[in-house]
Structure 1
Amino acid sequence: MDGGDTLTSMTPLSPVDEVTVTSQRPLDAALTLSPHQRGPGDPAHRRSADGAIWRVSRQLSGPVTYRITQSDRHTVRVQAWGPGATEFLTGAEALLGLDDEAEDFAPEHPKLAEAHRRFPHLRIGRTGRVMEALVPAILEQRVHGIDAFAAWRRLLTKFGERPPGPAPDGMRVPLTADQWRRMPSWEFHRANVDPARSKTIVQCARVADRLEQASSFPRAEATKRLRAVPGVGIWTAAEVAQRAFGDSDALSVGDYHLAAVVGWSLLGEPIDDAQMVQYLAPLQPHRYRAVRLLQVSGQAVKPKFGPRTAVADHRWH
């Protein structure tokens, strides 16, 4: 279990809305939703002892707590509480990747072909919530994951509101754009977030309405709008596109490890970003899908050479 499974509620008698999602193609809710968890103890994502996935989000209509359980390979039950429940449930199928098309994905590399055969239930889902994907991605820029996850956990735990309905203890609703915009600089500092990243978060929060609109744009146009904000580069935009837009082609160019992992896994040698882009070009529009298949199939490899770099502590400067 990722966190405590004690259920708490500020409104224990709050009504629950629910839908049952079925698909002829296999589904795996846990696999589809795993990229949305930002490290162990993510206050917006929990896996309870009974296998249920709990998440909290902020819809246009308000906060929502939702619980996802899978009864078989083709059926998922989605329950939701709170002001945003009805709005959230209209997008439940998209979240679970039912509109993710992979029929034209036919990789030639034996590792990818085998992974695709073994994981036909891999889906690329989309939340449609840009800021909820964007802020954690900015926190993850140029730092260790453990450092970024700790910052996300600290800020969300301290400033996020308690979720509606029942939820595992310690869960919090992602902050509003106005909360991020008004976040005192010293709170970012205490969370070990350097000024460059905190400035980017605040700038994004100031134009959050325009950024949220991008979820309805064609993917290229949506990415262009994200990258118009200073501090949001190709890597950050790809990380958001993967989660908020369900972009199966959003390749995280600029990732510290990805090019080397792709090179070692598929070619047996390291490559750089430019070589990775060139090598994976024939797989468009499924380059992110290919990366996910390497990850979930256990075939993503990268030899370790030397000690791991230290986590930077920005709180003392």
Structure 2
Amino acid sequence: MSALSLIGFTRYDPCARWIDGSFWLAARTPHGPGSIRLHPQVEAHGPGGPWLLERAPGMLGELDDVTGFAPEHPLLKRLKPVTLPRTGLVFPRLMRAICEQKVTGKEAYQAYSAIVRHFREEAPGPVAGLLLPPSPEAILGTPYWGFHALGLEQRRAEVLRRAAFEAPRLESCVDSAALAKRLLSIPGIGPWTVAEVTRLVFGDADAVSVGDFHMKNFVSWALAGEPRGTDERMLELLQPYAGHRGRVCLMIESAGLGAPRYGPRAPIRNFRSF
């Protein structure tokens, strides 16, 4: 799994897209909006362009540190390595993670995409239709019920608004530990959301998504042949890979090593009438 494949929310992310063979990312930076092409060449546009160019090596995974990662498990030896990006962009990843809380992937993407398109603002640069993520100010200025039509119920909408209020302090965090501490102080944000954010923002290879509906089963099945697991069992199996536990989870997930399924799929809900 490449670093770029982890940045966007599917290939149809309105803020991070593959367009004619090039990977583009739109972002709000401390110096203003910008866009950057990361593949096959690197180029940036807009007031935020220089800021994005400085962070291009991290986004491309060139700062990923695999020191000490030498898995002995036969399965892990066969799996392709995962390269982690380091974007430095907190609020967009946090917004996406909040959309993903306790819902199906389809529900999460629909809400995330609808929010971005609702606050539609095109990124500077040559790519038409590449959109900037909404600003924290725009999110904070929208009442929670304004997000119902966009796919968020009151709980996630309120968490998103609280995150927007904290955005300046979150963006000032200098490392994964500081960001995790600040995130956990926000009601409605727990270990799962923290791991999802710090893994992408700071390339935290040890960030484990505790509380994930599927991951505990994926890890238990892949590493121990157990079709169902718990968070405690997952952490026990991952302990030999301390420092790279999140990397192991991504390797297992990207290889498609899902556990056997039991029961019906979760239904897709609609909050537009709320």
Same fold per superposition (TM over 0.5): yes
* Paired amino acid for 1:58: R
Query: Which residue in 2 is equivalent to 1:39?
Result: 10
* Paired amino acid for 1:158: H
Q: Where in structure 2 are the equivalents of 1:136-151 lying within 5 Å? A: 136-151=96-111
User: Deviations 1:271-303 (Å, cap 9, x if unpaired)?
Assistant: 11111012111211001111122233x252221
Which of 253, 270, 283 in structure 1 is aligned with 2:241?
A: 283
TM-score for both structures, normalised by structure 2: 0.95
Query: Which residue in 2 is equivalent to 1:90?
Result: 54
Paired residue secondary structure (2:25): strand
2:274 matches 1:314: no
Paired residue secondary structure (1:271): coil
Paired residue secondary structure (2:108): helix
Alignment gaps of 5+ in structure 2: none
Q: Percent identity?
A: 36
Which of 231, 238, 254 in structure 2 is aligned with 1:273?
A: 231
Q: Where in structure 2 are the equivalents of 1:140-219 lying within 5 Å? A: 140-167=100-127, 169-214=128-173, 216-217=174-175, 219=176
Q: Is the 8 A contact 1:265 1:299 kept in 2?
A: no
Query: Which residue in 1 is equivalent to 2:73?
Result: 109
Distance (Å, rounded) in 1 between the aligned partners of 2:31 and 2:109: 27
Number of equivalent positions: 273
Distance (Å, rounded) in 2 between the aligned partners of 1:102 and 1:285: 9
Which of 59, 64, 69 in structure 1 is aligned with 2:39?
A: 69
- The structure whose Rg is larger is 1
Decide which moves more: 35-44 or 103-112.
35-44
Q: How well do the aligned residues superpose, as a CA RMSD in angstroms?
A: 1.5
Alignment gaps of 5+ in structure 1: 1-29, 71-76
TM-score for both structures, normalised by structure 1: 0.82
Paired residue secondary structure (2:35): strand
* Paired amino acid for 2:71: P
Which of 5, 28, 37 in structure 2 is aligned with 1:58?
A: 28
2:191 matches 1:229: no
Paired residue secondary structure (2:91): helix
Which of 178, 190, 196 in structure 2 is aligned with 1:239?
A: 196
Distance (Å, rounded) in 2 between the aligned partners of 1:69 and 1:192: 32
Deviation at 1:260, TM superposition (A): 0.5
2:87 matches 1:127: yes
Paired residue secondary structure (2:24): strand
Deviation at 1:307, TM superposition (A): 1.9
Query: Which residue in 1 is equivalent to 2:209?
Result: 252
2:220 matches 1:263: yes
Distance (Å, rounded) in 2 between the aligned partners of 1:184 and 1:158: 14
User: Deviations 1:63-103 (Å, cap 9, x if unpaired)?
Assistant: 11111223xxxxxx211111100111011111112221113
Q: Is the 8 A contact 1:163 1:173 kept in 2?
A: yes
